[in-house]
Structure 1
Amino acid sequence: MNLRQLEVFQAVLQTGNMSAAARLLCVTPSAVSKAVAHTELQLGYRLFIRTPTGLTPTPEAQVLAAESLSIHRQLDALQRTARNLATSDSGDVRLAAIPSITHEFLPRLIQHHAQQHPQVGVEVRTIHQDQMTQALLTRSVDFGLGFYKHPHPQIASDLLVSGRLYLAVAQSVWSRAPRAAAASARLARVPVIRLVGDDPMRQSIDELAHRLGTPGGPGIQVQTSRLALELVRLGMGWTVVDFLTATRLDPQQMFALELHELPPMSLYSYHARAFPPGLAAMRMLAMLPALLREALSAGQPRAPRR
């Protein structure tokens, strides 16, 4: 099957009849019918059977559909890239980011991008780190943003910026202990809000909890740093946040303690090695370093009072 035959085959599969497939391809129904007949002649077996409800794929066609789906997706991606290159002021960008980046930094990036490229569409997916591999390898997104280098061999990780981790605690909790007391003394009896699953941040939280002598027990575990931080605001404990989140904490309500004893955290962009980002996505990626430096310099967390 050549690419044109594949395109017609997929169109008939999607629509279930010749006329609808023809409208999808902007050709006549007779052209679709001839293409299907010619393909069947070449292959030596039927692809579709006429039924009262339309065209039903044969078992052979179902096997071909499964095998050809990835080729069809790559063809769509190629056509989209070609359009983006031909019309440099238009196109679209699809990106995925973990929740903490989506909520804390991404609005600034999207605003700046819209000002520079108003004709380019942007689609954002908020996903967790363990969902990033599937999104990238299935071409659901052009690139992803997350903390820590991606372990999958087919995913490329490009370092954007590094920064310290911070312990976040409500001012009301911090001020209960004498100001002269060290952080370990102030937080010795304060519970920790942990993250569930394999979130890379969990290891840092557990290590700090051990250093501070935080009480054991089941405690509270949540899926996102954003929810953990909301519980911290309510005075229910402390947690660890990244440097971007720390810059946006309200110093009237929260203290952000820089954690020099823990390794820095790095922010990366990810993309599938087999499918590098297109022109529109590369333009957005090029904006990231300057915007990240600006965000970090403009919002350095205030040190807590001792």
Structure 2
Amino acid sequence: MPKLTYRQIEAFRAVMISGTTRGAADILYVSQPAVSRLLTDFEETIGVKMFERHRRRLVPTPEARFFYEEVERAFVSLEKLSRAAEELREFHLGSLRIASMPAVSLEFLPALTDQFCRLHPGVSVTLQVRSTQQVADLVASQHFDLGVISGIELNDPSIEASVLADSRLVCVLPSGHRLADQKDIRPRDLEGEIFVSLGSEQSIRHKIDSVFEHENVSRQLMIETQLGFGACAFVLAGSGVSLVDPITAWHYQRLGLIVKRFEPRIPYRYSLILPKQRGQSGLTKSFLELLNSSLIKLEKETGGLFERQ
């Protein structure tokens, strides 16, 4: 048995709507004989009489009315799919799932995500804040479209990593600190200061400690916290000084914290990770363009305290 063609069904639907082959021809932008031929082929293919001919009009049979209801349901679904395709083309439909370490999730990424949502209304966004290793696991599982982490070494073949910024740690001081007018801070300047340390299980903690040990500088290691914004909160409250990543410091600088360049340079890398076995969606590419622009802007706003290279 020959199969119905989409064009035959279109002709049937157009006749049902207009009541005549001439009207159907106008709807489909074809000739009247072409509609008549399609309609004849349609009835022969399904083997059921669909219309009674009364003068110049075609009167649908009960079978035609039943079949038309099914056709309309199908066309409504097609129209929905067409609208969905258009929304996808315009980036107004879909979702973006981001996993990130805390350092960039306090203000930087939420502000960037807000900008993204205004550019792409209708797109749903998830921002999951986790430790760097947990972010890597989420992206490796392909449950998330991208991740932002500190620059640790990753040996997972399912993850593609790239450098967002090769920056450096900065020194944060409370308002009114004796070193507030000093351009750069060196280990010797912090002799005897109460120092807010990051967690001992973090590799960056050991890099910081080794710099002070090399200079034989003694600090009062009385406070320890896991996260950079926790250290900044302690310093803002006047509980000591610390070294943290520049994006976290940038947020607290606007709350009153004093941020200074620290020498010697202690590197701090921000990295982007993506699922390796999956191509980037249009939404992901759009977000990454915004991310790159925001990092360029941040470098200017911080006067070079945040470095991209």
Cα displacement string for residues 106-136 of structure 1 (whole angstroms, at most 9, x for unaligned residues): 1221121012111211000011112122211
Distance 1:204 1:180, change over 3 A: closer
Contact 2:235 2:242 in 1 (8 A): yes
**Partner Cα distance (2:231, 2:113) in 1:** 25
**Partner Cα distance (2:106, 2:222) in 1:** 26
Contact 1:174 1:187 in 2 (8 A): no
Aligned residues: 220
Cα displacement string for residues 168-212 of structure 1 (whole angstroms, at most 9, x for unaligned residues): 121344359x97997445420013222225434323322343256
SS at match of 2:165: strand
Alignment TM-score, normalising by the size of structure 1: 0.62
Could you tell me which of 271, 290, 299 is aligned with 1:287?
290
- RMSD value over aligned CA atoms? 3.2
Gapped regions of structure 1 (runs ≥ 5): 1-81
Could you tell me which of 150, 161, 168 is aligned with 2:165?
161
What residue identity is the alignment partner of 1:144? G
Distance 1:85 1:134, change over 3 A: same
Distance 1:216 1:294, change over 3 A: closer
What residue identity is the alignment partner of 1:90? L
Contact 2:170 2:259 in 1 (8 A): yes
Contact 1:96 1:124 in 2 (8 A): yes
Taking the TM superposition and a 5 Å limit, the aligned residue runs for 1:1-306 are: 88-154=91-157, 155-175=159-179, 183-211=186-214, 213-215=216-218, 219-250=222-253, 253-300=256-303
Contact 1:190 1:214 in 2 (8 A): no
User: Which residue in the other structure is 1:74 paired with?
Assistant: none
Contact 2:185 2:263 in 1 (8 A): no
Cα displacement string for residues 24-58 of structure 1 (whole angstroms, at most 9, x for unaligned residues): xxxxxxxxxxxxxxxxxxxxxxxxxxxxxxxxxxx
Alignment TM-score, normalising by the size of structure 2: 0.61
Distance 1:245 1:83, change over 3 A: same
**Partner Cα distance (2:170, 2:267) in 1:** 10
The percent of aligned pairs where both chains have the same amino acid is 19
